[in-house]
Amino acid sequence: MDRRRDPHVQLTDSTAGRLLPDVLQRNPVSLGPATLPDERAARRTLLGQVERLEAELASLFCSTWPRKGFDWNVRGRAGPRLLSLGELEELRDELAERVATGRRALSDRTYVEEQNRVRIEEMLLDPAAHKWERVSHEDIGEPGCRHWHVRPRMGLLGMLAGWWRVVISSGCPLST
């Protein structure tokens, strides 16, 4: 046997005296992904979880729309690239924490807003029991400048006589 140029090609003598390649033994080129099959399944599962958490975060964002004070900033991930399993797990955990925090904050806020709605109803039913109380649209989670305010009817005379009423403002003042 004679080896020429490429060490992976074996040459043999033919019947005509020329050297012909017998068997090509080259390293096969892998065109598939560089990840192991186990890693692909884990990656697919993590990406599904990230997708579900992002959808939940988006629905929370839509649920809180007129309200202010929620943090919806998204931090960058150093440009477009394929995340490793560890980075995907970190992303999933971060999204899960943000969804849980958003749910708690929205739950707390809606509880307070519902208490303020009940307070408005009580003010309308018995204004004398809620003297000088004021509830705004922002307190019930709605946009605008409207206020419910318990005031005496006919000023000082009404206050001395115990005549109270709920005054509902007409909205935002005109800009000057």
Q: What is the pLDDT along the chain (176 residues), one digit of tens a residue?
A: 444 555 555 555 555 556 555 555 555 555 555 655 678 888 999 999 999 999 999 999 888 887 777 877 777 777 778 888 899 999 999 999 999 999 999 999 999 999 999 999 999 999 999 999 999 988 998 888 889 999 999 888 888 888 999 999 877 777 66
139 DSSP assignment: G
Q: Name the nearest CA neighbour of 114 among 86, 80, 142.
A: 142
The number of CA neighbours under 13 Å toward the Cβ of 10 is 6
**What is the value of pTM for the model shown?**
0.65
